[in-house]
Structure 1
Amino acid sequence: MLVYESKLKGTKEQYGRLDEAIRTALFVRNACIRSWMDGESKSRNDTYKYCKVLADNPEFPWAKRLNSQARQASAERAWASINRFFDNCKKQIPGRKGFPKFKKNHPNHGSVEYKQSGYKLSDDRKYITFTDGFEAGLFRLWGTRDLHYYQLNQIKRVRVVRRADGYYAQFLIDHNRVEKREPTNTTIGLDVGLNHFYTDNNGETVDNPTYLRKSERKLKRLQKRVSKKFKKGKPQSNNYKKAKQRLATKHLQVSRQRKDFAVKTALCVVRSNDLVAYEDLKVKNMVRNHRLAKSISDVSWTMFREWIEYFGKVYGVVTVAVPPHNTSQDCSNCGKKVIKSLSTRTHKCPHCGYVADRDENAARNILELGLRTVGHISCQNLEAINLQN
């Protein structure tokens, strides 16, 4: 499944109608969750039926204006959050299990999703018209993606996303992306960190861009303007809304910079190696350290790992996540454990005399564990084939 995104160019009145559609989709989602909490909806089909009840209810005339399949998509989102909660309970995940919550309408967030109806693309694929009851009308698609490469029946869904800098249309295309790549006969082990974004088993490093730290001064200044213009207990002025919009746009810019760096770095790593081994880090637990939480969130290790796994499937490269236990403590030369604190940045083994950077030593251990895991998987597959024969 591919996701192509284009910005929607329209009038202020049209954007207001899109806001109504997004707010209605949010209302349907929250209503489905309330129906589940009250015991009325016990399955996904029950939430579909409840969408019909909402549309026929005279107390909610706006619900009928939303496309029927868009209402079903909102019900699917509600049931996905419910199903995720049940899965976390079955897996006995420690801490909070993610009980479904009601979402609020935010001016810089939100989306509405259409399936096969409720919209129409122009013949040249440069314009889209929304035809549901809100009558948002014709929008120009502004972007670099060309939809002519795919048939209309391959576009399974169209999602309208609201962000701080405008409205976007995301096209979910049914296409299996496979890219060809020449084998490089090289393997790599990655140890991510805060001093460097990652260090590989050869000692090569990539600097941490720290986009949030670099933009922190401007973010504080924009936040200060928002606080000055806020009036407690009174209607907020247009200057307050404009200041809040500038702050949200800056945060969006930082998140886009972080994503762009993660995507390009992951693509370079995958295309340059035949096997990529990395740590299976529990970032959710690591950010509980309040001294390092901001820095850990800024480096976006989870996003980097997700893109490595995605590009690994696209280019046919083996990606292995290994447990991080003792990868920094064990000596990659002799295997003996050498206890080190977090401030010790050089690995010095008293048993074999091996000296290396702490992160390089960890990367070599990660690569070795990754190669062991791949070999174990290959043996299991071979045994399964022999049993079948």
Structure 2
Amino acid sequence: MILINMISITSGGGLQNSLSFLKRLSLRPDLLADVVVSCVDGGRVHDFCKEKDVRYVAFPAGRIGRIYFELIGSYFVVKKYGVALVFSLFGPPPIGSFGVFSISGFAYSNIIQPEIPFWFFLPWHRRVIKKLKDLIRLKMSLRAERLIVETEYLKERAESGVFVGKNVSVVRMQPSGTLNAGALPDPRLERLKGNKILYLSGDHRNKRIHCLASVFGALADHDDWKLITTLPESSGYLSEIKELFNEAGVPESIVNVGPVDPAEISGIIASCDAMINVSLLESFSNNWVESWFFQKPLIVTDSDWARASCGDAAVYIDVYDFDGAAKKISDAICSDSMIDELNRNACSVLESLYDRGDKNDQYFDIILSDYKRVR
């Protein structure tokens, strides 16, 4: 059997990609007969498996359930089903699967690019803890016989750095199968006036949403602008962001709609004029392919890793150059000719992402190739 390990998947882009993977898997009877999925009890992956009759083993939600699966539960699943291969879409192989051939998707770009101060925003003692956790993730991931990353750029960095000598494959990201190009705009956003820029993300400070307050302060000189965020209302980071927008004199420019269910994402994107992601570092962002899929201008961090993936299909800004960033954003979104050019380039990049076929079929090809070899 093949264990598809999705125990770490609960929300965000990881959930989108997991549901897309399972949707494609449910159409592959040649694979389904040999697959068992590990998931969180009551989660979206669990619901999907029940609905589509995909064999699964569910474990309790929360930290205790996760630790139980990693140390003990995965061992019993391996023994019960005679698992010959473990595939983790995101994260290292579970400890209980020791000795079983494993393939792991690796999206911790900060481990591959340690020169970037990913945890810069934390006090020193919390930085130490995070770096220790990263070290553990690296050591656990080194147990995998094959690692899968999302870009050629990361493959090159990985093979010349932390994963030198390891078997590293690339499966480039594509728009999630849960996206709907014909989705109706979200009524909450349709009522808003002005140019709406969507930052679809969680509340991690690596996203640098707080840095956009001064940028939107500068944008206010050009027109009416809104930054749409998807953070929990209880988030301390959201409170900080709102305070910074207030200090920049544009409190009305920040509009938070709260966390978005995968089924609602298409309507949210359809309601906005552009998408933005100014993270300090990403392995690959769903925001990129989502903006291209919906033909929305994309604004991203001016960095080597972003340019390697986005090419000419994005507007690149430095969030600390407030006036320069504001001008680039305004010029791009208010210019029909620039929008047309970005959309043409986006179509070209999207087409290139399908050069090797559907991304999930690429996963399946890798899994089946190794499975036939080790079973």
In the superposition, the TM-score normalised over structure 2's length comes to: 0.29
The structure with the largest alpha-carbon Rg is: 1
In the superposition, the TM-score normalised over structure 1's length comes to: 0.28
